[in-house]
Structure formats: C-alpha cells, structure tokens
Amino acid sequence: MKPVRIGLVGCGHIVRFVHLQVLTRLSGVRLVALAEPDPERRRAAARRAPGAIAVATHEELLNIPEVEAVVICVPNALHAGVAIAALERRKHVYLEKPLAMNLDEGRAVLAAWRRAGVVGMIGFNYRFNKLYMAARHQLQAGRLGKLVMVRSVFSTATTPPGWKQFRESGGGVLLDLASHHVDLIRFLLQREVGEVFAEVQSQRSEDDSAALQLRLTDGLLVQSFFSMSAVEEDRFEVYGQAAKLTVDRHLSLDVRVTEPTLHSIRLKQIWRGLRILRHGPYLIQKLRAPGFEPSYLAAVARFAAAVRAGEHATPDLDDGYRSLATLEAAEESARFRRVVSLVTPLHAGLAP
C-alpha cells in the first residue's frame, strides 16, 4: 500500500500531545514534512519525526512537491488563510476546528475547496469516538421513543494560554469547545439547528463560558453549557419518552440507556455492574491512545483512507461551516439578547 505523504502545519500544544503520535503511528501514512515558526518547537517536533523535512512556515511546506495532503493545526485566526493556500495548490486538507474565524472567511474556504476538488475534512474527531457512534446508532434505532429534550456540557478546568484567551485572535469557548458539540448535535440527532438563543460570559478569560439554547428544525430543544473555567466534563443526555441516553466521554466506557421507571433503573444498575467487565479492551485502547482519546487517530485514519481512495469523507468542510454558522448566530444572540434564526441559505453555506 502506497503511504499518503502528509505535511503537518503547526507544531504547538495539541500536536505535541496528539497529532505527532497519530501521524507517526498510523500505518499507510508518512509524515514527510512539518512547518513551525518557533525554532524550539520545530526542533522538538523534528526529533519525533525522523525523515520529515522541517521548515518554518506553511508557504515553504506547501512548496514541497512530495506533500500531497496537509494536517493544519495552526491558531484559529490562521485557519482560513492556511487552508486556502493549501487548497489552491490542490493539497488534500485535514483542518483542525473551527473552519474559520467567521462565515465570510468560511465561505472563502468552501469556494477554494470546491475549486480544488480534493478531500477536505474538518477536525471534529469526536464523531469517531466509539461512544458517540454507539449513541447515534441507538438514536437511529428509535430506542428512546419520541425525543423530548437534549442537554449537553463540555467544559475544561484550566484557562488556556495565549491566543485562546481572546476572541479577536480566535479564542473563546464557542470556537474551542462548543464547535465540537454543535457538530455532535447534528451528527447524533441528524437534524439541523433552526434557532439559537445564547448568553456568553467572561470569567477567567474573554468569552470563556456560554449557555446555548438551540431549537432544531423539527422543534427539538437542546440546552448546552460550555466553559473553559469550570471542571473537566464532556457529556450528552438525550431524553425520550421511552428512555434516556447518556454519554459521558471521560467517565463511561459505554452509552447508558436508562428506562423511565425507578424499578427498571435498579435492575439495570446490577446488569451494568456485570457488563462493565466487557469493556476492558476499550479502556486499554483509551489509555494507549494519543491524548487518551482514540477518536483522534480514527479521524486522521479516515482522512488518509479517503485520500488514498480518492473519495469524499465526513465530517467535511461543509460540516465545519454549519457548526460555525451556529456559533456566529450564538454570538449575535448574546450581543443583542434575542433569538437568531439559522434557516437561511447563508447559514447553509449556499450563498455566493
């Protein structure tokens, strides 16, 4: 099998913990070049990627003919510019989330992608998490009956350094954490967001906490809380008339489906205690995974497979645009304290 020749753009925090391991561990992939302006980070990354050409900027990396695909991990404010430069050279693109800083930039990325006709994936890696895949399956099978309400929380405990502390440089909890959950809402429930009402607060850094109320296009209500100033938590609860589904990405090894009555809940607890033994292999996989999160590797593996096969792969850059549209609507809602509708061609990415 001919390996996919990848260039890694940006060698900061997440790359140190995740992407370098992913790209040097994954079979069928060869990390042929990396770009990082900070000399110390560049040297440290190069030591872990023997054989890769190390350069200072994305422009230099994109000029290396051997590079056929890029994984882009630069600060959010540079996403659109670097992605467009890569697409103009017809490189396949795996772009870390969010797609861009705003919808204007996002539309420019989509236009460049459509012109290039290459694989364009967005880094919503949690779609490849086993728990979210199982949850989607349960929801598709109608296990919960008619859905009543959805709640989600994604929060972290430590204030991130540098550019993530200011919205102007691409920081804030909406672009950082909420972008993932907004995508998961679409992925799990297979419905689009119709309306947004939001409040955004600055606790330890700018716009680091937010509460969103989303109404999906079929009327289903989703309430989400996001913070970079609270505890480590990543959780979804979907309430249906027949059962409730819970995914706790950090704490559980399986999707939990709770029946509606107390009697069945007690029986289920005993049964769960026994079943937990079955999940040993997933626990081991989690402990061994880059960043303790197997979905990072699975997402990049999907990208490489799509490049090799010359096929489309999701989540794609359109999915990135739809998530960004909801976040931009949330910012507008918070600013003017009103409900913002998303059912327009602009939000669907269809406007010129």
Ligand X SMILES: NC(=O)c1ccc[n+]([C@@H]2O[C@H](COP(=O)([O-])OP(=O)(O)OC[C@H]3O[C@@H](n4cnc5c(N)ncnc54)[C@H](O)[C@@H]3O)[C@@H](O)[C@H]2O)c1
**Does 58 help bind ligand X (rule: CB under 6 A)?**
yes
Q: Least distance from C-beta 59 to ligand X, angstroms?
A: 8
Least Cα distance to 150 among 227, 199, 197, 212 occurs for 212
**Does 208 help bind ligand X (rule: CB under 6 A)?**
no
**Does 37 help bind ligand X (rule: CB under 6 A)?**
yes
Q: Least distance from C-beta 24 to ligand X, angstroms?
A: 17
| Residue of the chain from 4, 73, 210, 255 that contacts ligand X (CB under 6 A) | 73
Cβ proximity of 144 and 238 under 8 Å: yes
| Residue of the chain from 26, 49, 69, 74 that contacts ligand X (CB under 6 A) | 74
CA contacts within 13 A on the Cβ side of 310: 3
3-class SS of residue 57: coil
Antiparallel, parallel or unpaired: β 120-122 and 233-240: unpaired
Give the helix/strand (H/E) hosting 270.
Answer: helix 262-275
* Contact mark string toward ligand X, 122..161, x via CB under 6 A: -x-x------------------------------------
* Per-residue exposure over 158-175, b if at least 16 CB sit within 10 Å of its own CB, e if not: eebeeebbebebbbbbbb
**Does 48 help bind ligand X (rule: CB under 6 A)?**
no
**Does 105 help bind ligand X (rule: CB under 6 A)?**
no
Closer residue to ligand X (CB): 58 or 107 = 58
CA 162 to each of CA 63, 158, 227, 331: distance values in angstroms, whole numbers, following the listed order? 29, 13, 17, 21
Q: Least distance from C-beta 110 to ligand X, angstroms?
A: 18
| Residue of the chain from 6, 9, 20, 144 that contacts ligand X (CB under 6 A) | 9
* Contact mark string toward ligand X, 285..304, x via CB under 6 A: --------------------
How far is the C-alpha of 214 from the C-alpha of 224, rounded, in Å? 8
Q: Under the rule (CB under 6 A), what is the footprint of ligand X?
A: 9-15, 35-38, 41, 57-58, 73-76, 78, 96-97, 123, 125, 162
